[in-house]
């Protein structure tokens, strides 16, 4: 983590990217919220970062953190952009899937039983 070097001297600064805003229009976004691009809306009128964000999300779902990483923007800035794109309908989000879902206790128990039975 320490060796990672984001291009700190970005040519286009964050406030130009978000037009000076730091508060996203909605606060439902999380680092692991999955973003899915909708196909039907045109990209005209979007600034280059938003357009790149759409291109990133087109091939499949990406999380907010990944999008921010690919755009090499701070997560807070990326959230502002994503919230804008959600408002304009370019992006829909899907809540992160709870990680505990597959570890169902009964299944684990059954697996354990099965393993014990085998051994």
Partner 1 sequence: MFWCLAVGLFAVTVLLVRERGITARQRRRNAELGDGLRARDEELRHLVSARLPALEDAPHQQVPAVGLLDTRLADTDFAKCLDGVVERFAGAVEHARSSADQSAKAALKASMRSLQALANEQQVSISEMQDRHDNPGVLSDLLEIDHANAQFGRRAQVIAVLCGSWPGRQRATSALVEVVRGATSRIRDYRRIRINGEVDIAVRSRAVEPVVLAVAELLDNAARHSQPGTTVEVTVQTVHNGACVVIDDAGVGMDGQAAEHAAELLARTHDVDIVRLGDPPRFGFAVIGALTERYGFNVSVDTLSPYGGVRAVVFLPAALLTHLDPADQAPVPPAEPPAPAHVPAPAPAHTHSTDTAPTADPAAPVPDPHAASAPASAPDPHAASAPASAPEPTEATTPGGLPKRRRRTPRQPAPQPVAAEEVGGRSAEENARRMGAFARGTRSGRDARHTLHDDEGNSHE
Q: Please give the structure tokens belonging to residue 105.
A: 């206790």
Shortest distance, position 113 Cβ to partner 1, whole Å:
5
Interface residues with partner 1 (CB under 8 A)?
Answer: 1, 3-16, 18-24, 36, 38, 48, 52, 55-56, 58-63, 65-66, 69-71, 74-77, 79, 92, 94, 97, 99, 101-102, 107, 110-111, 113-115, 117-118
Compute the least distance from the CB of residue 105 to partner 1, in Å.
13
DSSP run (H or E) holding 94: strand 91-94
Q: Which is nearer to partner 1, 10 or 28 (CB)?
A: 10
Distance CA 28, CA 93 (A): 9
Contacts (Cβ under 8 Å, ≥6 apart) of 71:
49, 52, 53, 56, 78
Task: Pick between residue 79 and residue 86 the one whose CB is nearest to partner 1.
Answer: 79
CB 71 within 8 A of CB 53: yes
First-to-last alpha carbon distance for the chain, in angstroms, is 43
| Token pair of 1 as six digits | 């983590």
């Amino acid at each position: 983590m320490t060796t990672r070097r984001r291009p700190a001297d970005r040519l286009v600064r964050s406030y130009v990217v978000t037009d000076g805003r730091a508060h996203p229009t909605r606060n439902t976004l999380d680092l692991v919220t999955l973003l899915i691009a909708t196909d039907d809306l045109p990209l005209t009128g979007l600034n280059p970062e938003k357009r790149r964000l759409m291109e990133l999300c087109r091939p499949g779902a990406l999380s907010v953190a990944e999008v921010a990483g690919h755009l090499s923007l701070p997560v807070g800035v990326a959230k502002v952009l994503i919230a804008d794109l959600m408002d304009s309908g370019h992006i829909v989000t899907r809540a992160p899937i709870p990680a505990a879902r597959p570890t169902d206790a009964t299944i684990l128990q059954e697996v354990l039983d099965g393993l014990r039975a085998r051994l």
